[in-house]
Structure 1
Amino acid sequence: MSPTDRFVDRGTDRLALRFYPAPSETASVAVILPAMGAAGRFYRPLAESLGAAGFAVVVADLRGTGGSTPTPSRASGYGYADLADDVGAVVDALKADYADRPVVLVGHSLGGQAGLLHLATAPDAPVAGIALVAAAVPYWRAYGRHSPTILLYTQWIAATAALLRIWPGWSFGGRQARRVMADWGRSARTGRFPVAGAEAALAELTVPVLAVSIDHDVYTPHAAVDHTVGKLRRAAVRRERIARVEAEGRPAHFAWVRAPEAVTALITDWFASLPPHR
């Protein structure tokens, strides 16, 4: 069976969800949250891999990306806090089909940041755990000898988005709302999540976390993931590193999605080790 598409209204915006056939009527639910500028359809290999491992899978396009509408424009006023709220709306939308089933968030890059922020601001959310894959605050000091270049590049992007009132997607991230890029640039500069109270809330978060980084990932190096999970003082964090995946000549940050078996195995093993799910 083919996946089915549905939508969640968020004021003037609409989030696209893609439901993959569930392997059973009691399967736990994996919600895939994509990277900045990556359409949900790109994650089909991961969705099918997780489905084969026993999960019901839903892929949620981030606001303004893929099947979510409208495309970001100069009128778009949303930022990281809104993306975090969107995650909550997606989880709520699953209740009609998957009531009382355990839900795990699988966040890639910006999707992982949005998922963490949602859990920080809604600690009682009905989520059994979050798997972060190549997902971290892009703190410039975590990039080794490339750190000065990263600082200049991220701040140039944020300044350009502010000047143009939109990020056109030149060389990075696809077309994005200016506040998304302002928040992204701020997190790169400060190493902190750009939402008021988020850092303190993350320190108190107790939702289990799997954090996976990938060798030779120039967008999210191991040190950036270490910096991010270091904020989680109370959560049980399982930290994993995997070798670079070779797939279609894509950079390490994205190649794993096309050959996701190693990541699926880690998620499956980690999820099975969690306490009884609510």
Structure 2
Amino acid sequence: MECRFRVNGQLKLQDLSIIWVKKEEHTKEVYKLHKGKENFQTQHSNFRGRVKLLKDKLELGQSVLQVTNIKLTDAGTYRCLIGYEGADYKTITLQVKAPYRNITKRTVTAQTTAGHNKWELTCQSKGYPKAEVIWKNGEHQDLSDKANTIYETGTDQLYSVTSTLKTNTSINETFHCIFWNKELKENTSAILIIPGYTVASQRINSRRYIGTTVAVFAVFGSLLLFMLWVKKVGKDHGNETCTNNVAVTVTKLLTVEEEVDIRELSLEDGKLKYIRIEVT
């Protein structure tokens, strides 16, 4: 915000006093420069740390007040009082605008009926003042009466506007959500396109799932067959060992039989009192 005053020759800063106030039911002091020195003792808490006088403009006879971190409550009427080789004042009206610049959009499919998906299209944005949300399809038909729009206000006094449109449509259909700010005569829009990859994506995911399942079963099957094979080999090896031991013992006995007929042997025979076959 700016107000001007006359400077003849070089500015005498020690003779300059400037006061900025906001006119409300109770006047709020915004900034004070007294006899060339800043004074923040009587500054209202709403403006503390947010205002700055651009001192390099004073030589040009300009009192420029810079306000940062602007709020909606900053809007209103301000008065600039100048004391320098006389006195003067100026009234300024400050308007604060908060356009609906950024629109967050979301497209969600709910269910499928007769080859058509039921979709929920959502647009959300913040701004001030309250905006109307207009919905149109690709043929520019107005669908606003079918939408549900919710308004909420936060501590920053901005309106959080969320509008949802439910529709039955086919893929690749185009929709527009438009935030119309009547007081600012400004609109911001976003385009939502019904995606055409939903079914294909589901099929791909199903194939991946089936492929993964088959692979897992194949691995487990291979491990099971390998374990059975190892067990069988171990068992056959044990049987083979036992058979070989028995065969060796019997062979030795048969060697004896070749020399002496077992039927002719008696228990009194000192050479062979008994026959024992040991299996190890």
- Which one has a larger percent helix, Structure 1 or Structure 2? 1
TM-score by length of 1: 0.17
TM-score by length of 2: 0.17
- Which one has a larger percent strand, Structure 1 or Structure 2? 2
Instruction: Say which one has the larger Rg.
Output: 2
